[in-house]
Amino acid sequence: SHGVEDDLSNEAEELLLTLPREKNFDGTYLYQFNGVWYRHKFLYGMISTRRHFQARDSDIIVSTFPKSGTTWLKALTYAIVHRSRCAFEHSPLLTTNPHELVPFFEISYSLNKKDIPSFEHLYTPRIFGTHIPYSTLPDSIVNSNCRIVYICRNPLDQFISCWHFLLKLAHDKESETLSLEEYFEKVCNGVQHAGPFWEHVLGYWKASLDNSHKILFLKYEDLKEDTHSYVKKLAEFLGCPFSNVEEKERVIEEIVKLCSFENMKDLEVNKPGRNIPGHIPKNSDYFRKGEVGDWTNYLTPSMSKRLKNLMEEKFSGSGLAF
Ligand code: A3P
């Protein structure tokens, strides 16, 4: 039988043939669509998301450039928004990886090509994750009252985090890989999944300045330095501020602790060997060091200088700096 999804598969496959492509870190291809590079599966998922996803006003979208704190922000958002559903000692976050509780559009829409996902199992408000850049989001997300939380990270740390993540994935698949220097060159040219980095970040940054009720723009480093304040800010932005009673009962502290790197990394569900059906990475791959400034252990002075200069040039005049 040839349903709608078969047509989409064909359309996506035909589209692929027309798109510019470049080799990725592990020898697979990245495809460029609307100025942005995608891995094959995420490109398919992105096209399908744009075609089928209908946002509700109550929806919350956690949007990020990969390896910028997605897992953490998903966990915090879930913990804040669904805090009255059960006591913290029974939180689903203790037994389920955040990427299962807060699904990525691009993965959900690429898993089962016959069925459009219903997301019936998600509580309201529904929370989704995505790496789709602002300029390519489905119209219904941009035009509805749903809210977007975005987190970005110092590009030097993001690069090193990504490098380790890709190495782990390539190691599991036994694929050949680029050297750190070769991959660095690609990244400086914007050729990485969801790249260029600066365009992704600037797209959400500018949109957040234009519409601060709809988009909250956060930085990993700020969140790390003062998680408590940002959890409070996040709750206010999402329309569920903490009451005085909750503050007295130290609910914010509970959330910070629950979602902390140290707590999440050591949970049984996030130990090596576990993974979410349909996800290639293992749950443990999402937790490495969780620190600010790890790039100093890997980048040569000339590399860090080049990346800093590049960002300065790209972000100049935007009001955004790292
Ligand atoms: P490092 O590789 O620098 O350790 P993403 O979630 O977007 O894939 O990003 C992964 C990065 O966030 C990794 O960075 C990971 O260790 C870190 N991370 C994961 N969970 C975290 C948490 N709860 N708190 C802080 N950092 C976290």
Is the distance from the beta carbon of residue 69 to the nearest atom of ligand 1 less than 6 Å?
yes
For ligand 1, say whether the CB of 223 is within 6 Å of any of its atoms.
Answer: no
What is the DSSP secondary-structure string of 37-75?
A: EEEHHHHHHHHHHHHH----TT-EEEEE-TTSSHHHHHH
Q: Is residue 86 pLDDT above 70, yes or no?
A: yes
Nearest residue by C-alpha to atom 26 in ligand 1: 290
Whether residue 111 is predicted with pLDDT greater than 90 in this model: the reply is no
What would the mean pLDDT of 61-79 be, rounded to a whole number? 98
Confidence of residue 113 (pLDDT cuts 50, 70, 90): low
Is the confidence at residue 233, as pLDDT, over 60? yes
| Lookup: tokens for 284 | 């443990």
Distance between first and last Cα of the chain: 52
pLDDT at 1 over 90: no
Partner residues linked to 63 by β-bridges? 130, 150
Establish whether the linkage from the previous residue to 138 is cis, with ω within 30° of 0: no
Q: What is the pLDDT of residue 78?
A: 98
Mean pLDDT of the chain: 94
What the block records as the tokens of 247 is 């503050």
The answer to whether the complex's ipTM is over 0.85 is yes
> Looking at ligand 1, which atom is closest to the CA of residue 74?
6
Residue 25 has pLDDT above 50, yes or no: yes
Sign of CA dihedral 65, 287, 306, 221: positive
pLDDT at 2: 42
> Which pLDDT band holds residue 66 (cuts at 50, 70, 90)?
very high
Could you report the per-residue pLDDT of 299-317, keeping only the tens digit for each? Answer: 999 999 999 999 999 999 9
Q: How is residue 17 written in tokens?
A: 């043939």
